[in-house]
Amino acid sequence: MFTDHMTLICHVIDKMADLPPPVQNLAEAKVDHDRYANIKEKFVKKYNCEPKFYARAPGRVNLIGEHIDYCGYGVLPMAIEQDIVIAVCPTSDNQLYLSNTDDKFRDFQCSMTNFEINKAKPDWHNYVLCGVKGMTEFISLTNPVGMQCMVDGCVPNSAGLSSSSALVCCAALATMQANNQSRSKKEIADMCASCERYIGTQGGGMDQAISFMARPGTAKKIDFNPLSEEDVILPEGVAFVISNCCVEKNKAATSDFNTRVVECRLAMQVMAKSKELQWQECKNLADLQNKLKLSLQDMAGIVEACLHKEEYSKQEVCEILGVTAEKLAETSLSANTLHVEKFRLYQRAGHVYSEARRVEEFQRICKEVPSDAAQRLGTLMNQSHESCSQQYECSCTELDDLVNLCIKSGAIGSRLTGAGWGGCAVSMVPSSELSEFLRKVKDGYYVVRGLESRVDEALFATQPGSGAAVYIQS
Ligand code: ADP
Ligand code: NG1
């Protein structure tokens, strides 16, 4: 009886990603009503009418599995409470009107169907345009309604907590709702992962997947190709703390992120070629593993055997693959990495295969809950940071210092989260030592560096939050 009941619950939960995001009356929603009243007030002041609904999409913290989603490997994030909200009133004039509660984001207006997304200068409205364009194409709208929008966000920007994806997802959801359409969370998440690439970065699908498929109280293991999700219940007695090193890194404005994507692609192509596979037909490092029918551990051996530790020049890669530089640009590079001349293939592929193993191990420990579960998860987080910092080179001095301080201050495990090169660390801390930990990190990082005024938004414990939703103004 009990088992039947559990099976039924699991089945219902399983199917939740196949449902559309929830649509609820704002008055009945468990939200900060003062915040929504404030957004509404600003909306009315700006547009002289009331919003009809609000779309919201959360940011996320990735517990483990960094820079592997775009290589086809599963990741383990949870949604955070911080989110983007867009108050919307549909209009009949086919225009998109954007305003933001934060004055630093300037007003913008364009046609709903005829606009350019500026990759060279990714101002905030370009992320909204990614979501609008993605959804308009996805639901084949030839004549989408116009929208007056007031955007309000509290996800720290360019800090590895996915503010950009929350904005893209929220804009896509707003476009769907304004046009009275409905699609499943899974479909929208998949589509948003693709349309965020209009901004130029070639990311994976982690951020958009968790933004739509999150459930309060549980982290998720997200897998790709096809997109799927599974609850991961975190051990009791630990808290997860986010700390921002306060170095900002905008992914779209530099080529570092895409350079890593390209290095992983080149590593895959060089290994595929040396294993006599059709390298142009391999999609990513996970696809290569599938084609070779080997374990992740075996793939570490393939990296050792096929790649050298020294940097590869572009010319060397061209010689190995038997292509011209022009052809390589077509098969392997992105528009903003055409200038890159040196690639570290051994280090990047080594990170990806070891990180993918750590994600599997993390999930297994959460399922089996051995007596030393927290210690083992902490060790995996520390190893992940070491690999991100040393092999993948996506940390920075401030972030490394912060991670080390978190460990010294009582964290069982600590690592950078998100894209890196700045931004946040996530630490696992015994719940009983949480306040002492927060005090030590505040004093040891923020006070010492003159960042005390930022502590409230930069250092906080977090719980797995809920996914994207629409609230109707009653
Ligand atoms: P992240 O790691 O947070 O996703 P990115 O550098 O990829 O960082 O994207 C950050 C960009 O997203 C910001 O520079 C801004 O253009 C946009 N953005 C994030 N939050 C907001 C917001 N509340 N309002 C407007 N734009 C936002
Ligand atoms: P953030 O932290 O939001 O910049 C980026 C990618 C993810 C993933 C992580 C690294 C986008 C939209 N997001 O996240 O897909 O690759 O880096 O694990 O590109």
The arithmetic mean of pLDDT across residues 78-102, rounded, is 97
CB under 8 Å to 185, separation ≥6 — which residues? 16, 17, 18, 19, 20, 21, 212, 213, 467, 468
Q: Is residue 160 in some structural domain?
A: yes
Closest residue by CA, ligand 1 atom 8: 158
CATH code for the domain of 221: 3.30.230.10
**207: annotated active-site residue:** yes
**Cβ distance 272 to 302 under 8 Å?**
no
* Residues constituting the chain: 474
Q: Is residue 144 in some structural domain?
A: yes
Given ligand 2 and candidates 162, 249, 262, which is best to mutate, with the most ligand atoms within 8 Å of its CB? 162
What is the pTM (predicted TM-score) of this model? Answer: 0.96
201 within ligand 2 shell (Cβ under 6 A): yes
Q: Which of the following is catalytic: 207, 298, 401, 456?
A: 207
> Taking Cα atoms as reference points, which of 75, 52, 74 lies closest to residue 63?
75
Structural domain containing residue 143: 2-231+465-472
Q: Is residue 221 in some structural domain?
A: yes
- Ligand 1 centroid to Cα of residue 252, in Å, is 10
Percentage of the chain with pLDDT > 90? 94
Atom from ligand 1 closest to the CA of residue 156: 3
Q: Is residue 249 in some structural domain?
A: no
pLDDT tens-digit series, residues 199-212: 999 999 999 999 99
Q: Is residue 124 in some structural domain?
A: yes
Q: Is residue 82 in some structural domain?
A: yes
122 within ligand 2 shell (Cβ under 6 A): no
- Ligand 2 centroid to Cα of residue 421, in Å, is 12
CB under 8 Å to 151, separation ≥6 — which residues? 84, 85, 86, 98, 99, 100, 101, 105, 128, 167, 170
163 within ligand 1 shell (Cβ under 6 A): yes
> Taking Cα atoms as reference points, which of 323, 174, 164, 192 lies closest to residue 257?
164
Q: Is residue 403 in some structural domain?
A: no
CB under 8 Å to 344, separation ≥6 — which residues? 263, 311, 312, 393
**Cβ distance 53 to 135 under 8 Å?**
no
pLDDT tens-digit series, residues 313-351: 999 999 999 999 999 999 999 999 999 999 999 999 999
Residue 249's pLDDT band, with cuts at 50, 70 and 90, is confident
What per-residue confidence (pLDDT) applies to 3?
Answer: 45
Q: Is residue 154 in some structural domain?
A: yes
Residue 15's pLDDT band, with cuts at 50, 70 and 90, is confident
What per-residue confidence (pLDDT) applies to 62?
Answer: 98
Number of domains in the chain: 1
